[in-house]
Structure 1
Amino acid sequence: MRAIVEYCTHNTAHGTEEIIDKLRQLPDCEVYEYGCLTSCGLCYLSPYALVNGESAWGETAEALYNQIMIKIQEIRLIED
């Protein structure tokens, strides 16, 4: 199963663009960019994304990246 990461373009103000670029490098990860994920409260307050439909957030972009990678690892474990 591939990890699907969805993020809001408005959230890049939190510095998420760099981590999204790193996620695009992963062979088992698909990244989709949207104008809105309808989670404006979370998106406005902190770096935020969806991983296979589940919310992931962090106080910094790097913290968000770590949370996304935890979720991706969980997906990888399910496959094994």
Structure 2
Amino acid sequence: MRPIIEFCASNIGHGTGPLMNKLEQNPEYDVVEYGCLNNCGECYLQPFAMVDGEIIAADSPEQLEEAIETAIKEQEAWDSLDLD
């Protein structure tokens, strides 16, 4: 399953625009921008995105990129476990 990475247009002031554009270039990700993700507290305080519905926040867009990639790798590890 391809990860869905959601960005809030109101959070672009924290520098998430270039990161969103960069991640859109990766064919393994579905990247979506919404006018609002209804997380105003996060949106106001720091760069954030949602990865498969989970809030990922960081102090800078560069750190956010690392946190997003870590979250995706962790999810892929869980998905690869055979629980049968």
Equivalent residue pairs, number: 80
Larger radius of gyration: 2
The CA distance in 2 between the partners of 1:69 and 1:22, in whole Å, is 13
Which of structure 1's runs of 4+ aligned residues deviate more than 4 A? none
The CA distance in 2 between the partners of 1:70 and 1:79, in whole Å, is 14
Query: Normalising by the residue count of structure 1, what TM-score does the alignment of the two structures yield?
Result: 0.92
Higher relative contact order (CA 8 A, sep 6+): 1
The CA distance in 1 between the partners of 2:78 and 2:29, in whole Å, is 15
Name stretches of at least 5 consecutive residues in structure 1 with no aligned partner. Answer: none
The CA distance in 1 between the partners of 2:8 and 2:75, in whole Å, is 22
SS in 2 for 1:23: helix
Whichever residue aligns with residue 29 of structure 2, its letter is C
Which residue is equivalent to 2:15? 15
Which residue is equivalent to 1:53? 53
SS in 2 for 1:32: strand
Shift of 1:79: 4.5
Name stretches of at least 5 consecutive residues in structure 2 with no aligned partner. Answer: none
Q: CA RMSD in A?
A: 1.1
Which residue is equivalent to 2:32? 32
What percentage of residue pairs aligned between the two structures are identical? 43
